[in-house]
Structure 1
């Protein structure tokens, strides 16, 4: 088995590397990696229904869709991720097999971890690891999170969905009580020490294991895939299932209700209702926004040349876009 200890913390690069290694390698592989603060969503999820849009916007948190299913995950530098790629393998859905090394290592540290449910690891009934899998030809990729010293409050805030009536055909995340591994250690260590311990443990499980360093060609190919796929709106939001959104926002000129349907990431239908005033017919704005991507820059591009005050007295482009995106209060959006 090849072992990779990748130190790049860019989330788009890391998820692109997952796909690159899965399709390139013909050998079993184990990898440890970490991401700067970001949210990863499962391949079957509706991105907008999984995130707290206000918090994500205020904190400039990247969103990246992964190949595997499962729920949305908040990553930070207190979260260590592990990946197994198994070739010529029929172990899809066998989550316990790939998480056993983690359980075994933690036992050597005096921590009694256990596998629970379909894909979780628990300590004293609290979740510290969620796992997901993806099948490609005769290969299985299994990856999981290991909360070691993660900022739990940030995790909760980033994934806390606002009370918007959002009907989605996607899969909703199941939020559980969580804990950090570091809180259960008898002998304190930091995440880099734990990372080395885990890598050395996996290395020691088989005499044929070898360390592998990414080549310049590998890195260039992964960067290309990251730029063309994993960092794009089309992949991270446009691949979401069709959904409907109903939102209400109060601003200085009154209250506006937003009713919209989104198909393949773009608005297929939108209606405005409320007690606001305007001297021009809002159907002009409604028709203008049809086929527009349901994201800030595209919406602002369509509306920036419009005098919004003519349609929603006392409003601005930023206020209108905030409501269309599902915010409960007008957001300070980028220019």
Structure 2
């Protein structure tokens, strides 16, 4: 389902057209990592990278394998100064990170075939800054990877096929051969966390 995901230190009223999203049953959810607000739908590919904590957990080095894989897939993306990805002068990926005592989490979006009109509408709070202490998103021009591939005459498959290609090449980059499934107890913990935290208004609207 379409959803808007805001950063840990953002305020919903500053970032999202709440009335418009509620009318269309677009969920608004807060994540544990920082960064700006993003719009998700079935044309959006998300990736997460987990590592043991390094000496520079916020350096942006985690984007190197993503950039390398995209180039294999005929997408010459470049990393921006905000640890985002750009294609022909437009943004195709935003990222965020969360660092604990021993581990670091990096995750990002890939706009492949997203409804950009819905994205722009959902993330339009009317230039309001009602809560000054909250982290503000930085608006950027955006584009879809699939549109770019079609424009340059490259193969532009549906998102399911592109996702499989992305995963296959990412595994090759790390020297792995197969995707592992989460154990049943981990899936149960995730579901419980979803119920106890990420569906709760006290968390999602805490700013």
Query: TM-score normalised to the size of structure 1?
Result: 0.58
**1:29-48, Cα deviation, whole Å (9 max, x unpaired):** xxxxxxx2101111111122
Corresponding residue for residue 193 of structure 2: 225
- What SS is found at the alignment partner of 1:74? strand
- What are the within-5 Å matches in structure 2 for residues 1-335 of structure 1? 36-95=1-60, 97-162=61-126, 164=128, 166-185=130-149, 186-207=154-175, 211-238=179-206, 240=207
Check whether the contact 2:13–2:130 (CA below 8 A) recurs between aligned residues.
Answer: no
Shift in Å at residue 204 of structure 1?
1.1
Check whether the contact 2:2–2:40 (CA below 8 A) recurs between aligned residues.
Answer: yes
Check whether the contact 1:90–1:138 (CA below 8 A) recurs between aligned residues.
Answer: no
Shift in Å at residue 111 of structure 1?
2.6
**1:40-97, Cα deviation, whole Å (9 max, x unpaired):** 11111112211102211211111111111011111111000000000142332122x2
- What SS is found at the alignment partner of 1:92? coil
Q: 1:37 to 1:210 in 2, by over 3 A?
A: same
Q: 1:163 to 1:173 in 2, by over 3 A?
A: closer
Gaps of 5+ in 1: 1-35, 241-335
Q: 1:161 to 1:189 in 2, by over 3 A?
A: same
Shift in Å at residue 174 of structure 1?
1.1
Dislocated runs of 4+, deviation >4 Å: none
Q: 1:109 to 1:88 in 2, by over 3 A?
A: closer
Structure 1 Cα separation of the partners of residues 25 and 76 of structure 2: 37
Shift in Å at residue 211 of structure 1?
2.7
**1:248-297, Cα deviation, whole Å (9 max, x unpaired):** xxxxxxxxxxxxxxxxxxxxxxxxxxxxxxxxxxxxxxxxxxxxxxxxxx
**1:187-227, Cα deviation, whole Å (9 max, x unpaired):** 12111111111111111123356532122222211111111
Which of 1 and 2 has higher RCO (CA within 8 Å, sep 6+)?
A: 2
- What SS is found at the alignment partner of 1:145? strand
- Once structures 1 and 2 are overlaid, which stretch shifts more, 166-175 or 120-129? 166-175
Structure 1 Cα separation of the partners of residues 50 and 30 of structure 2: 19
**Structure ID, larger Rg:** 1
**1:275-324, Cα deviation, whole Å (9 max, x unpaired):** xxxxxxxxxxxxxxxxxxxxxxxxxxxxxxxxxxxxxxxxxxxxxxxxxx
Shift in Å at residue 167 of structure 1?
4.0
Check whether the contact 1:39–1:72 (CA below 8 A) recurs between aligned residues.
Answer: yes
Corresponding residue pairs, total: 203
